[in-house]
Amino acid sequence: MPQEIKWVMNNMPKTEDKNLPIMSVNEVAKARKFHESFPQYSVTPLTNLAKMAEYLGLNEVKIKDESWRFGLNAFKVLGGSYAIARYIADETGTDVSELPYKVLKSEELKKKFGSATFFSATDGNHGRGVAWAANQLGQKAVIIMPKGSTETRLNNIKAENAKAWISDVNYDECVRQAAKLASETEHGVVVQDTAWEGYEKIPAWIMQGYGTMASEAGEQFGERPTHVFVQAGVGSLAGGVVGYFSNLYKDNPPVMVVVEAEAAACLYKGAVAGDGKPRIVDGDMDTIMAGLACGEPNITSWDILKNHVTAFLAVEDSVAARGMRMLAAPLKGDTQVTSGESGAAPFGALATIMKDDEYKELREKLKLDKNSKVLLFSTEGDTDPGRWKNIIWEAKDR
């Protein structure tokens, strides 16, 4: 049986940390105020798994449940909606604080801004969020999905009046296709959480949008968590969460742990190399963690992660499936969390580390013990209900 978790402690050289201010407490507060202007907004639950914490030998385990976000079953809409608002603010010479939901929906704003087409590549959740935000604001969206994407997630995107299709290439190639199509379209705009040289502003806005989730979690947790586990695809969510908590607790930050799918572990590979340069994973990246199947790091996030993450983990599909099952069937007294494949990966990793003595050394290096208060993020619910039932009910790993 292959090792379920590969891990490496972060020994990369530190940089001047120029990107950390992107996730400052003030910038995140602006994003959260914007999201609060939506009629669909409510704070998603932070579920306290007290019995599970006791079972795992920890003081606290609390998991942010994003299956309740805006009725879309995933957190991604936070990034796409804020990036679209920031783009419109830039184009109209307005501060985003003057563009709450009602103003963005107004005829006056539409006359001033006109019409744009927002392009994105996605496994499902990000594209659905972009499509939803564009649809809410009377704009257009074109969404490209990598091969292996499910029809359920495609149909969810189409239901938001977006043009969408499943391609025959991987996620990173879809990003390139979306960028090309946008460049050939009048008022075409790429809304992607992957940053590359020359495309850094919009991904930074997306990260700030994700900060709303981190800000809510920080308030709900109360005292400082000792550990934060967060999943990563290109690393935008991870950079957003790690950046926010590094700013919030500047003098005493939590131990930050990044969890990736082993099939697409570009950040882990960069950490193993140890020189601070990003690494790329190519090919099919076959994993049930579709939201994490991204092989090219967001360079903005990578800089934040290099400076503030304690350990990088690359996990097998079985770890995510275990996390899904444990959250779906909690110990008596704890609340169920309906978590999808990408959503449950960090909790599956935590449970495996705590219960499998193969990872005793990692447990000790991370100082995970009876005093630990761990914050995790379940970033999606059952966004593909058929697959979720296969894993939970039929005990299949896909």
Give every CB contact of residue 229 below 8 A, 6+ residues apart in sequence.
Answer: 257, 259, 346, 347, 349, 350, 374, 375, 376, 377
Instruction: DSSP letter for 381, please.
Output: S
Q: Are 342 and 291 in contact (CB under 8 A)?
A: yes
Q: 239: which 2 tokens?
A: 């950079």
String of b and e for 122-154 (b: at least 16 CB within 10 Å)? bbbbbbbbbbbbbebbebbbbbbbbebbbeebb
Catalytic, out of 62, 64, 65, 76: 76
Return d(Cα 208, Cα 22) in angstroms, integer. 7
Among candidate residues 116, 105, 140, 124, the one with its CA nearest the CA of residue 189 = 116
Helix, strand, coil fractions of the chain, as percent rounded to 5 = 50, 15, 35
Q: Which residues pair with 278 in a beta bridge?
A: none
Return d(Cα 116, Cα 188) in angstroms, integer. 6
Q: Which residues pair with 48 in a beta bridge?
A: 62
Among candidate residues 259, 226, 267, the one with its CA nearest the CA of residue 353 = 259
In the annotation, is 123 catalytic? yes
Return d(Cα 348, Cα 393) in angstroms, integer. 17
Catalytic, out of 64, 65, 123, 373: 123
Query: Cα(first)–Cα(last) distance of the chain, in Å?
Result: 18
Give every CB contact of residue 201 below 8 A, 6+ residues apart in sequence.
Answer: none
Return d(Cα 270, Cα 276) in angstroms, integer. 7
CA atoms within 13 A on the CB side of 56: 29
Give Cα separations from 230 to 101, 321, 329 (angstroms).
29, 16, 21
Active-site amino acid positions: 76, 123
